């Protein structure tokens, strides 16, 4: 049966072919169309000499098994040499590879969440709630309670949040009780860190500069 959809687009480039694969359709439908087009279209190219192929999956995330399924289909054409498979990086996997633990939920008043290491918390910390970590704290949500990073004495630890309105911040042994103006600050993500034993607040975009300065100071 003919496949009439346009989930697979094949384009010629200077040194090969690019397969543009729809990132929203069902994966099995994508494979069906890939098989069909390899058999019924572009035969003047697909049956010729060796040609390099680049696969582009857009924003679609696939498993290793799914990737192998696609490659097996393409390998049935002996003249196609797969040069690259462009798969977007999985943000969650990247976070896991970095050693950061991901947790989600809500820290309510009277609750204390403690973690050894770096923590990314997906949710809000309400007034009266508290997060403590031996490493960094990254909150993708509102911080309206207390956060204590570097509890074991790590003065290089940071506290970051999408919305900063804490009742108290603490890094290592340094404590800062923010003023009432917290609620009137910009809503862009910010982070707290120590500089000369004093608590500082900056936009998250400047965290790279801070980490670089830390490494220079340590002679890394």
| Spans of all domains in the chain | 8-86, 93-218
Q: How far apart are CA 8 and CA 22, in angstroms?
A: 6
Q: How confident is the model at residue 220 (pLDDT cuts 50, 70, 90)?
A: very low
Fold agreement (8-86, 93-218): no
pLDDT digits (tens, 9 = 90+) for 177-195: 665 555 555 556 888 888 8
Estimate to the nearest angstrom the gap between the alpha carbon of 111 and the chain centroid.
Answer: 28
Q: Which residue has the higher pLDDT, 60 or 171?
A: 171
| 3-state DSSP assignment of residue 161 | strand
pLDDT of residue 172: 92
Decide the pairing of beta strands 16-21 and 51-56. parallel
pLDDT of residue 2: 44
CATH code of the domain made up of 93-218: 2.160.20.70
Q: Which residue has the higher pLDDT, 131 or 187?
A: 131
Those residues with Cβ within 8 angstroms of residue 149's Cβ, 6 or more apart along the chain or in another chain: 132, 133, 135, 136, 137, 157, 158, 159, 170, 171
Q: Does domain 8-86 have CATH number 3.30.750?
A: yes
Q: Which residues, in sequence order, are bridge partners of residue 55?
A: 19, 85
> pTM (2 decimals)?
0.52
Decide if 204 contacts 212 (C-beta within 8 A): no
pLDDT digits (tens, 9 = 90+) for 50-109: 888 888 988 887 888 888 898 888 888 778 888 888 877 655 555 555 578 889 889 999
């Amino acid at each position: 049966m003919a496949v009439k959809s346009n989930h697979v687009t094949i384009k010629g480039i200077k040194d090969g072919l690019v397969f543009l694969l729809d990132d929203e359709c069902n994966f099995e439908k994508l494979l069906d169309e890939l098989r069909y087009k390899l058999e019924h279209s572009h035969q003047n190219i697909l049956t010729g000499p060796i040609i390099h192929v680049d696969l582009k999956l857009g924003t679609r995330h696939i498993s290793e098994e799914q990737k192998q399924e696609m490659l097996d289909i393409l390998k049935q054409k002996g003249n196609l040499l797969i040069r690259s498979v462009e798969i977007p990086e999985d943000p969650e996997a990247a976070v896991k590879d970095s050693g950061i633990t991901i947790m989600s939920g809500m820290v309510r008043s009277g609750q204390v969440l403690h973690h050894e290491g770096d923590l990314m918390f997906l949710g809000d910390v309400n007034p009266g709630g508290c997060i403590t970590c031996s490493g960094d704290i990254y909150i993708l949500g509102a911080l309206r309670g207390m956060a204590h990073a570097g509890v074991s004495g790590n003065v290089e630890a940071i506290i970051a949040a999408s919305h900063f309105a804490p009742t108290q911040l603490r890094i290592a042994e340094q404590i800062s009780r923010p003023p009432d103006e917290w609620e009137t600050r910009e809503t862009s993500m910010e982070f707290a860190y120590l500089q000369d034993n004093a608590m500082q607040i900056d936009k998250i975009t400047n965290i790279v500069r801070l980490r670089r300065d830390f490494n220079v100071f340590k002679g890394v």
